[in-house]
């Protein structure tokens, strides 16, 4: 018996995660704590990982599925991607600003996700996904148009690297969902491993993370923009292909740009307005007609194809 199409719900879950992630850069700029960007990124994902580990430990399956041999390669790949993404993105924000760093990273992400999904899993992009992604990436390019001052080359490179790692994480997480791994366990493991990999940055200026504004920032970043966002994202990944999730995540720079305008007092140019419109249009195409024909179909709860 055919079950209702799970993809619209999956798309909504991924978009909800992107909205929460879109607050990361603006929150970092707004708090203006002076904390080291890598230390802030490490603390963020360690807090989120610990919360998700508690959730996983209370579940029926617990953490035991992580010991399976077919899980470890994808788990390690996801952890590596998480560590590099966090460090690169936080540095990019500190050098280029919230809106620009988010646009660069998430403009790179869907292209990287699509290429890696094809390389590592055999996903084949359909015309709707291609059109939606091109439109959304073009929107991100307009957000990068000159007019906001000096271009920081290192910041842009770090944004591109973090976007590519975001795409790698998306593909690795999708492969874990296909192996029926409880995602609260998988995500907690990848976040904790990624956080530990960049945790030496915490020792450089530990006192900078202990003042009131920084602790408040970490509470938001760790609980809402990490633990809650990743739970929403992986729940969406169970219902949509990896490349579609990568494109839908372009809602993140849209949220960052809106917050930059409304909260941080940034100004919108004509190019920025056109870029936001293209982003919205590309996301709409991706949601309504941008699914992929994947070698692994979406599974129902009992493991049957839908």
pLDDT digits (tens, 9 = 90+) for 275-293: 767 766 776 676 565 444 4
Query: At 272, is the secondary structure helix, strand, or coil?
Result: helix
Query: At 41, is the secondary structure helix, strand, or coil?
Result: helix
What mean pLDDT do residues 163-185 have?
83
Contact predicate 133/291, CB 8 Å: no
The sign of the torsion formed by the CA atoms of 238, 174, 295, 66 equals: negative
> Does the model's pTM come out above 0.75?
no
Q: Give CA–CA dist 224/83, Å, rounded.
A: 19
Name beta bridge partners: 124: 293
What pLDDT digit, counting tens, does each position of 168-178 carry?
988 888 888 78
């Amino acid at each position: 018996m055919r079950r209702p199409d799970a993809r619209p719900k999956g798309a909504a879950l991924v978009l909800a995660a992107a909205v929460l992630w879109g607050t990361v850069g603006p929150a970092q700029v707004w708090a203006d704590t002076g904390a080291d960007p890598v230390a802030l990124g490490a603390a963020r994902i360690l807090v989120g990982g610990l919360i998700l580990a508690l959730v996983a430990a209370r579940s029926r399956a617990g953490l035991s599925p992580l010991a399976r041999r077919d899980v470890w390669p994808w788990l390690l790949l996801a952890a590596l991607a998480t560590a590099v993404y966090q460090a690169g993105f936080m540095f990019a924000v500190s050098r280029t600003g919230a809106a620009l760093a988010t646009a660069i990273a998430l403009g790179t992400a869907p292209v990287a996700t699509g290429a890696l999904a094809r390389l590592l899993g055999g996903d084949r992009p359909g015309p709707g996904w291609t059109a939606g992604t091109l439109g959304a990436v073009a929107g991100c390019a307009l957000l990068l148009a000159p007019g906001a001052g000096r271009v920081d080359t290192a910041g842009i490179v770090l944004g591109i690297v973090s976007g590519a790692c975001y795409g790698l994480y998306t593909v690795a997480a999708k492969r874990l969902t296909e192996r029926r791994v409880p995602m609260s366990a998988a995500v907690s493991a990848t976040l904790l491993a990624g956080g530990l990999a960049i945790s030496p940055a915490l020792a450089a200026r530990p006192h900078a993370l202990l003042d009131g504004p920084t602790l408040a920032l970490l509470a938001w970043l760790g609980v809402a923009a990490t633990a809650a966002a990743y739970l929403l994202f992986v729940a969406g990944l169970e219902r949509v292909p990896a490349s579609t999730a990568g494109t839908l995540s372009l809602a993140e720079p849209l949220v960052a740009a809106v917050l930059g305008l409304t909260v941080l007092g940034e100004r919108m140019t004509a190019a920025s307005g056109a870029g936001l419109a293209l982003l919205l249009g590309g996301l709409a195409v991706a949601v309504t007609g941008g699914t992929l024909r994947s070698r692994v179909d979406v599974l129902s709860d009992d493991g049957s194809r839908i």
